[in-house]
């Protein structure tokens, strides 16, 4: 919806309906040697999930170089194949509470918001495109892979989390050189469902697993010829946790140290429609 005569304001409302039916078939004779541990695996399990979501988007074009936009609403992320089926060995669907069959995880859902500033034009003698985005998300039923028994793992909807952060993307294009910059800061406060023997459900603080606070990439490309490019880049990943429990402090989360990785490569086009 255009809000003014100059077409500088645009408003976009949207509604989406999501629905998926998962049907799982399994020949559980492959678990003969451990059948007591996988007694809930049945020849056929089916699960249907659905939900409607909405989103509002607003964009303002200030001039030919500068634009701002923001979006907000709800989301519903359907499961991918790996979250549904696991790996066919150590990752399996979890048992239902009735032990009458398996259940699949449910889709993640929640609320989200972001606001971005976008600029393009000449900077430092180069054509530059830059975007700076603030994002916020409140997630329910977050999926997390965790050990369920002695010898197998399951995807469980045991986490809720609030996260926010800033993302920067910028590219500079000169005649012979390109410079690409990407950086993301993400702060997540995660809580894990804690079911007590009495049946009550509580939430305890947990580490957000495999989620570094800082991550960035810097790439410099030299365009030697129309058919030949050489590049080098540095990629930084901040430390992160691989285990959710905060029971014994940071050590219990088994943090992975931060890392800086350097890459270099060549792109070559021997013919018009082929790049190596």
Model pLDDT for residues 1-19, shown as the tens digit of each residue: 999 999 999 999 999 999 9
Picking from 216, 101, 123, the residue whose alpha carbon sits closest to that of residue 167 is 216
Closest of 156, 251, 161 to residue 195, by C-alpha: 156
Instruction: Name residues whose C-beta falls within 8 Å of residue 179's C-beta, 6 or more positions apart in sequence.
Output: 126, 171, 172, 218, 219, 220, 221
Measured CA to CA, the distance from residue 207 to residue 249 in angstroms comes to 10
Which residue shows structure tokens 């607003």? 58
Q: How confident is the model at residue 56 (pLDDT cuts 50, 70, 90)?
A: very high
Radius of gyration over every alpha carbon of the chain, rounded to an integer in angstroms: 24
160 Cβ contact list (under 8 Å, min separation 6): 139, 140, 141, 142, 190, 191, 193, 203
pLDDT one-digit tens code per residue, 162-188: 999 999 999 999 999 999 999 999 999
Q: Is the pLDDT of residue 202 over 60?
A: yes
Residue 20 burial (10 A CB sphere; 0-12, 13-18, 19+)? middle
CA dihedral 116, 65, 235, 215 (to 10 degrees): -10
Q: CA of 41: how far to CAs of 63, 147, 153, in Å?
A: 60, 17, 14
- The alpha-helical segments, DSSP class H, found in 212-271 are none
Question: Contact at 8 Å (CB) between 239 and 208?
Answer: no
| Structure confidence at residue 35 as a pLDDT band (50, 70, 90) | very low
Q: How many Å separate Cα 105 from the centre of its chain? A: 17
Model confidence at 152: pLDDT above 90: no
**E strands along 148-213, which residues?**
153-173, 177-195, 201-206
Q: Average per-residue pLDDT in the chain?
A: 87
Contact 260, 239 (CB under 8 A): no
Report how far residue 256's alpha carbon sits from residue 271's, in angstroms, rounded to the nearest whole number: 44
């Amino acid at each position: 919806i255009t809000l003014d005569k100059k077409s500088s304001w645009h408003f976009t409302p949207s509604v989406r309906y999501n629905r998926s039916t998962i049907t799982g078939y399994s020949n559980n004779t492959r678990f003969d040697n451990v059948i007591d541990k996988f007694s809930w695996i049945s020849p056929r399990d089916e699960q249907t999930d659905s939900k409607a979501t909405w989103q509002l988007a607003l964009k303002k074009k200030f001039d030919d170089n500068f634009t701002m936009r923001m979006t907000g609403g709800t989301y519903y992320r359907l499961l991918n194949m790996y979250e549904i089926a696991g790996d066919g060995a150590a990752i399996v669907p979890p048992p239902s509470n009735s032990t009458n069959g398996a259940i699949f995880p449910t889709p993640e859902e929640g609320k989200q918001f972001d606001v971005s500033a976008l600029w393009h034009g000449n900077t430092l003698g180069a054509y530059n495109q830059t975007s700076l985005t603030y994002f916020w998300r409140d997630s329910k039923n977050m999926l997390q892979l965790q050990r369920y028994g002695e010898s197998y793992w399951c995807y469980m909807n045991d986490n809720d989390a609030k996260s926010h952060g800033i993302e920067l993307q910028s590219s500079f294009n000169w005649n012979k050189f390109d410079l690409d910059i990407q950086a993301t800061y993400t702060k997540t406060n995660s809580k894990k469902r804690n079911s007590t023997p009495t049946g009550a459900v509580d939430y305890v603080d947990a580490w957000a697993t495999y989620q570094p606070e800082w991550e960035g990439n810097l790439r410099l490309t030299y365009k030697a010829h129309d058919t030949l490019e050489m590049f080098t880049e540095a990629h930084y990943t901040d430390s992160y946790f691989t285990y959710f429990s905060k029971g014994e402090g940071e050590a219990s989360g088994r943090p992975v140290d931060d890392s800086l990785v350097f890459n270099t490569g060549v792109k070559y086009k021997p013919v018009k429609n082929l790049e190596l």
